[in-house]
Amino acid sequence: MKFRVDRDVLAEAVAWTARTLPARPSVAVLAGMRLEVTDDQQLRLSGFDYEVSAQVTLDIQSGEPGVVLVSGKLLAEITRSLPAQPVNLVVEGSKAVVTCGSARFTLMTMPVEDYPSLPAMPPPAGVIGSDVFGAAVAQVAIAVGRDETLPMLTGVRMELEGDKVTLASTDRYRLAVRELRWQPEQADISAIAMIPGRTLADTAKSLTTGAQISIALSAPKETGEGMIGFESGGRRTTTRLLHPEFPKYRSLLPSSFSAKADLTTSSFVEAVKRVALVAERNTPVRMSFREGEVVLEAGSGDEAQAVEVLEADFHGDEIDIAFNPGYLLDGLGAIDSDIARLEFTTSTKPAILTGGKPVEDTGVADYRYLIMPIRLSS
């Protein structure tokens, strides 16, 4: 086996495939990257750890068909450091020789026959714009739980109903929900998938090279168990789904509010950052909303204190409420709007942060970020 390919094309493909390789593989061959030159002069790079698979196909300048398995991380480091010249790889017995300009590397090969077969792509479910999907996933990924003892909170729930996709995630302290449109293969599709949050975030971010992402899914609505696949621009990845158990989040979203405040997002962000400088770990930023303004405060007693007043377009009952500043800033960074709207019921119940225009047919914002307040001591 041998091939010749542009250095930048190879380095990008190897880096994308290597990102899914396990840091501590349970079996040595899982640290390998499978390279295959096909009869139609294409190079196929693959990685798989029994949970997530990644495969990219690219055109090569020349080559002879064959398969080789080499250390994926090492190959990524090598290709990233090569000079800007064509790269040649030739398999010589139990070694793979990489040359580029005057640089030459010899890698030991791994037994290809021991490498697991990549899972086949599930049945196609539909397509969605890659930029829109990437932005939507980023908005909900901020609320994905990190506690591995609660696996149901480490995923993003994807609900497919006709031409609507709903993404939701929560770590018990905040909830992020995003609704968007897509083009389903079947107009009456109805399915639920619980996707590992980190995997989905990485996948959505890395598949923006193509205009659209094809989503493939095998997940019965009742159990959700199965697999999901994404494909775009010659890249495809699959991952096993989590158990579909998830909090009944829609009941947490208030249907009516006693007050709302509109603030300039950039000014609000900077004010929260400044006031939070004196907030000790796990202590809140307190906010008092009144007609025309909000007063932000942090710190108390003999500690450092901060106070700042911002203009706010406020309507409703005056309210004093407090939030974890980190959680609040996460939401403000995700709304993608010049105006941030906070809607309240009481000082002890969740507030809703939104931005942008409401969805026309529902009057509800397509992105909602629910944040739990921190109870103020009386």
What pLDDT digit, counting tens, does each position of 70-123 carry? 999 999 999 999 999 999 999 999 999 999 999 999 999 999 999 999 999 999
Among candidate residues 191, 128, 192, the one with its CA nearest the CA of residue 156: 192
Query: Is residue 237 classed exposed, middle or buried when 0-12, 13-18 and 19+ CB atoms within 10 A define those classes?
Result: buried
Residue 280 pLDDT exceeds 90: no
Q: Tell me the domains of the chain and their CATH numbers.
A: 2-114 (3.10.150.10), 124-250 (3.10.150.10), 253-371 (3.10.150.10)
Please report where in the chains the tokens 């629910």 appear, as a residue: 370
Q: Which residues contact 129 (CB under 8 A, 6 or more apart)?
A: 211, 212, 213
| 3-state DSSP assignment of residue 127 | strand
Tens-place pLDDT, residues 184-203: 999 999 999 999 999 999 99
Listed in sequence order, the residues at least 6 apart from 372 whose beta carbon sits closer than 8 Å to its beta carbon are: 172, 173, 174, 350
Q: Note whether 66 and 37 are within 8 A (CB).
A: yes
pLDDT at residue 222 greater than cutoff 80: no
Q: What is the pLDDT of residue 210?
A: 83
Report whether 242 contacts 52 (CB < 8 A): no
Is 2's pLDDT higher than 70? yes
Collapsed DSSP state (helix, strand, coil) of residue 184: strand
Q: Cite the DSSP H helix spans in 29-164.
A: 72-81, 130-141
Q: Give the contacts of 181 (CB within 8 A, at least 6 positions apart).
A: 163, 164, 165
| Distance, CA of 306 to CA of 297 (rounded, Å) | 6
More confident: 377 or 141: 141
Residue 220 banded pLDDT, cuts 50, 70, 90: low
Q: What is the pLDDT of residues 325-345, one digit of tens each?
A: 999 999 999 998 999 999 999
Place of tokens 């990233």: 80
Residue 359 has what pLDDT? 46
Closest by CA to 326, choosing from 156, 129, 52, 142, is 142
Q: What's residue 179's pLDDT?
A: 96
- Judged against a pLDDT cut of 90, whether residue 356 lies above it is answered with no
**Residue 209 — very low, low, confident or very high, per pLDDT cuts 50/70/90?**
confident
Residue 378 has pLDDT above 60, yes or no: no
For residue 316, give the nearest of 353, 291, 287 by alpha carbon: 291
Distances (CA, A) of 209 to 35, 51, 107, 231: 21, 24, 30, 11
Structure tokens at 3: 């091939």
**Res 224: pLDDT:** 54
Confidence tier at 153 by pLDDT (50, 70, 90) = very high
| Model pTM score | 0.91
CB-hemisphere CA count at 13 Å for 345? 14
Segment among 223-232, 284-293, 311-320 with least mean pLDDT: 223-232
Looking at the predicted structure, is the pLDDT value of residue 362 above 50?
no
Mean pLDDT of 205-223: 83
- Quick one: pLDDT at residue 178? 97
Mean pLDDT computed over 146-150: 86
Confidence (pLDDT) at 360: 46
H or E stretch including 57? strand 52-59
**Chain CA centroid to CA 15, Å:** 18
Is residue 171's pLDDT more than 60?
yes
Let me know: does 237 contact 57? Beta carbons within 8 Å. Answer: no
| pLDDT at res. 147 | 87
Predicted pLDDT at 177: 97
Nearest-angstrom CA–CA distance, 371 and 164: 24
